[in-house]
Structure 1
Amino acid sequence: MAPASKTQGEQSKEGMGSHVGLPALDLSAAFPQATPASVFPPLVSDYYQFGDLLSSEEKALRKRIREVMEKEIAPIMTEYWEKAEFPFHAIPKLASLHVAGGTIKGYGCPGLSITGSAIATAEMARVDASCSTFILVHSSLAMLTIALCGSEEQKQKYLPSLAELHTVACWVAGGWLLDGQKRWIGNSTFADVLIIFARNTNTNEINGFIVKKGTPGLKVTKIENKIGLRIVQNGDILMNKVFVPEEDRLPGVNSFQDTNKVLAVSRIMVSWQPIGIVMGVFDICHRYLKERKQFGAPLASFQINQEKLVRMLGNIQAMLLVGWRLCKLYESGKMTTGHASLAKAWISSRARETVALGRELMGGNGILSDFLVAKAFCDLEPIYTYEGTYEINSLVTAREITGIASFKPAVLSKASRL
């Protein structure tokens, strides 16, 4: 019989101030056949060799981002996701990717193709959806608004610093400039610059403004207790008589249609987030099923597991090609609002299905954030909803193909008196 030793609880009681309860296991050591996502697997989800469709520049960009995300972000993402904190020390690593500013040319921005920017979004989301959302809000919403709608002076003043991530921006739509409120704004708790869209009460049209952090009357508080994109710092924004000088009004924003210049690009990027997420989930599941054994055989040898894995793979190939075609339609000037809405709705719906299959394949480990799948399962929920819900995006496309808008319910006829 092995000699008896004090329990962890008894040892904790003796040591004043020491941690109560069992310490966390090093999963890779305790279960050598279950490598956690902190050691990211190689990409095996590009079954139809989608990479062959990319230019040499886009391939080099994809490789660079993949290396940084796997080596620098993967080891820390679970810890910060669990704490719902942003890893500010990782910002220089994200800045080194040189993707902030996306398709913007000049002003220190990378001038990527829309396909390159989409690939960058997917590669970040493959490892961590929150990091891709951080860049998307900062770049494809805030920076792009300044680039498309700002004056030359505003572009020179703000874009170079934003491109290097020396300053961080967020994007806010709705409310009145001086007195208003908006929820769920990513990056807003620490953003240096806020891009505000507000309705002008004199013209009843939308105007855009650059509001600086610390402006009197501006208050931002963090939204707590989220189950998805926990690393992203979403905020409640309150504006009480916030004064913005004329020089910080965006001259190119004078109607809601002007905001669509920005939303057209951001909707493409949001469509590529689920693509990256499911690629990462597949890569994790593929490794896991080959590593883990049951009854002396790897889980990958069981027929039902193989069928689910192939169903996931099929979904990913279709999602990739829809996303790629959407980029090409945009680049050729043929993309419509309906095209973008269908892509966002359909891709996010297929991603939900694919991640759910991955969660089934992982068994009990499928609910641990250490293995990415549970984390991705939760992160997809806000992505499924933002930039238009599945239903709204479906109705936008349906309006385009039928010529009939069905957003408002039919007016009920008045009941006559008996």
Structure 2
Amino acid sequence: MSTETTLAAGQATASPERLYGVCDYYDAESLLTDGERRVLGRLRSFLDEKAHPLLADHWERGEFPTELGQPLIDLDLMEPAELTGGASGAEPVPARGIYQGFRIFELARTDASLATWYTAQAGLFRTAIRVGASEAQQREWMPRVIDFSLKGVFSLTEPESGSDIAGGLSTTARREGDGWILDGAKRWIGGASTADVLAVFARDVADGQVKAFLVEREAPGVTLEKIHGKTSLRMMQNAHITLTGVRVPEAMRLHNVNSFRDVAAMLRAMRSDVAWIATGLQAGAFEAALGYVNERKQFGRSLGSFQLVQEKLARMLGNVTASLSLVVRLTEQQAKGIYRDQESALAKMQTSLLMRETVALAREVVGGNGITLDTDVARFHADAEAVYSYEGTHEINALIIGRALTGESAFTR
């Protein structure tokens, strides 16, 4: 995947200093500091040189390129010392939300599985600790989350409950002495096989409220099975987890999670990450399609010179631009401490909807070659289906927005 893309004939080309070129038509990148762009530039180089050559083969085999894991961690992307002041010994300042968003965008622009794998730690698990852990627990665990010495995954979805997890969560937690006993099952948990702990959400049999626990992956009673036969996010290793009489000490319970309301606060914060993934995935598909049509010749001329192809390219660019505008503004709001369910839901719903159209148009302009892994378009096209559904389906997010607009809940009771 090239760093820069040339615009149509007669127009200026993107500045060589810019990372995102034509896929960032309104220059949202200008909101980044020079330091943030340097860190993202290093990530870009790693993804282009080390990651991209491995993707098609691993996607086809349904295996994650584990050799990329530690080098990605070593890039120090979550809270880079040069951005937070950590290297100087001063009190670290958290990396800005806009940088974190573009980090997700950059990963997803290369591959959705890589973005999902990294965000499982940097987004889902970190949010579980940030929102759910007590101050004492955060002091102990958060530094290890940031440097990946404590790897974890967010284990909420169940075999029989996805969209209805608020009322349908059936994994149970029973207090026994100075600990808890967990029984139940979780499904679609990405990255579980390489995690140290699973952040498991269970219903307390005593009060019926949802609690959360850090469960060691290899604890007695924990069984993981890889989910086979996927046609989307094939590189991402999703697990079916069975918990049978699993003992967890009280110290490993997330003390600030005492109802599903607390879980909802996590989801509210995490949906913006998925909207960034949907936006980055679109950018990757658009760039791959644009590069292809500018090189491919039919009827003695490049595909990019045909009117119908240019119309589809314009629609794709419009979708990417609209999506990037949405996630940037949402991130700016959240940086001010403004978190609203309907705003996160709107961003996830709309970027995913536009993503579906963008990848379909990309596959269309690439023609028959768009169903092979050679052009990258097929991988983006297939992976978009998983992103469209996870972290809240289109319908669930629409109902969250509708409830905010009308004051009436249309959720099934």
Aligning the two structures, in what range does the TM-score lie when normalised by the shorter sequence? 0.7 to 0.9
Matched, 1:391 2:400: no
Matched, 1:124 2:69: no
Please give the per-residue CA displacement for 1:46-87, whole angstroms capped at 9, x wherever unaligned. 122221233334333332322221122111111111111111
Q: Percent identity?
A: 37
SS state at 2:247 partner: coil
Matched, 1:62 2:46: no
Q: Hey, what does 1:85 align to over in structure 2?
A: 63
Q: What is the CA–CA distance in structure 1 between the aligned matches of 2:195 and 2:213, rounded to whole Å?
A: 15
Q: CA RMSD in A?
A: 2.3
Q: Sort the Cα spacing of 1:90 and 1:110 in 2 relative to 1 into closer, same or farther, 3 A.
A: farther
Q: Hey, what does 1:15 align to over in structure 2?
A: none
Q: What is the CA–CA distance in structure 1 between the aligned matches of 2:138 and 2:49, rounded to whole Å?
A: 33
> Contact 1:40–1:284 at 8 Å: present in 2 too?
no
Q: Hey, what does 1:319 align to over in structure 2?
A: 323
Q: Quick one: which of 274, 286, 291 aligns to 2:278? A: 274
Q: What is the CA–CA distance in structure 2 between the aligned matches of 1:106 and 1:230, rounded to whole Å?
A: 38
Q: Sort the Cα spacing of 1:170 and 1:117 in 2 relative to 1 into closer, same or farther, 3 A.
A: same
> Contact 1:41–1:287 at 8 Å: present in 2 too?
no
Matched, 1:219 2:229: no
Please give the per-residue CA displacement for 1:318-355, whole angstroms capped at 9, x wherever unaligned. 11101111111112233311011011001100010011
Q: Hey, what does 2:98 align to over in structure 1?
A: 115
Matched, 1:170 2:153: yes
The structure with more radius of gyration: 1
Q: What is the CA–CA distance in structure 2 between the aligned matches of 1:59 and 1:260, rounded to whole Å?
A: 33
Q: What is the CA–CA distance in structure 1 between the aligned matches of 2:130 and 2:183, rounded to whole Å?
A: 26
Q: What is the CA–CA distance in structure 2 between the aligned matches of 1:97 and 1:252, rounded to whole Å?
A: 31
Code of the residue aligned with 1:188 in structure 2: it is A
Q: What is the CA–CA distance in structure 2 between the aligned matches of 1:314 and 1:57, rounded to whole Å?
A: 29
Please give the per-residue CA displacement for 1:243-267, whole angstroms capped at 9, x wherever unaligned. 0011111111111121233222210
What displacement does 1:40 show? 7.1
Please give the per-residue CA displacement for 1:118-150, whole angstroms capped at 9, x wherever unaligned. 111111000010011011112211122123322
Q: Quick one: which of 371, 376, 385 aligns to 1:372? A: 376
Q: Quick one: which of 124, 128, 136 aligns to 1:141? A: 124
Q: Sort the Cα spacing of 1:124 and 1:110 in 2 relative to 1 into closer, same or farther, 3 A.
A: farther
Q: What is the CA–CA distance in structure 2 between the aligned matches of 1:99 and 1:148, rounded to whole Å?
A: 21
Q: Quick one: which of 56, 67, 73 aligns to 2:51? A: 73
SS state at 2:193 partner: coil
Code of the residue aligned with 2:46 in structure 1: it is V
Gaps of 5+ in 2: 6-19, 157-168, 174-181
> Contact 1:223–1:234 at 8 Å: present in 2 too?
yes
Number of residue-to-residue matches in the alignment: 372
Q: What is the CA–CA distance in structure 1 between the aligned matches of 2:93 and 2:105, rounded to whole Å?
A: 17
Pick which of 109-118 and 305-314 moved more.
Answer: 109-118
> Contact 1:99–1:110 at 8 Å: present in 2 too?
no
Please give the per-residue CA displacement for 1:19-43, whole angstroms capped at 9, x wherever unaligned. xxxxxxxxxxxxxxxxxx5x77654
What displacement does 1:152 show? 4.6
> Contact 1:345–1:394 at 8 Å: present in 2 too?
yes
Q: What is the CA–CA distance in structure 1 between the aligned matches of 2:312 and 2:75, rounded to whole Å?
A: 34
Q: Sort the Cα spacing of 1:309 and 1:110 in 2 relative to 1 into closer, same or farther, 3 A.
A: farther
Q: Hey, what does 1:361 align to over in structure 2?
A: 365
Detail structure 1 runs of 4+ shifted over 6 Å in the superposition: 105-110
What displacement does 1:317 show? 0.8
Code of the residue aligned with 2:120 in structure 1: it is V
SS state at 1:211 partner: strand
Q: Sort the Cα spacing of 1:165 and 1:335 in 2 relative to 1 into closer, same or farther, 3 A.
A: closer
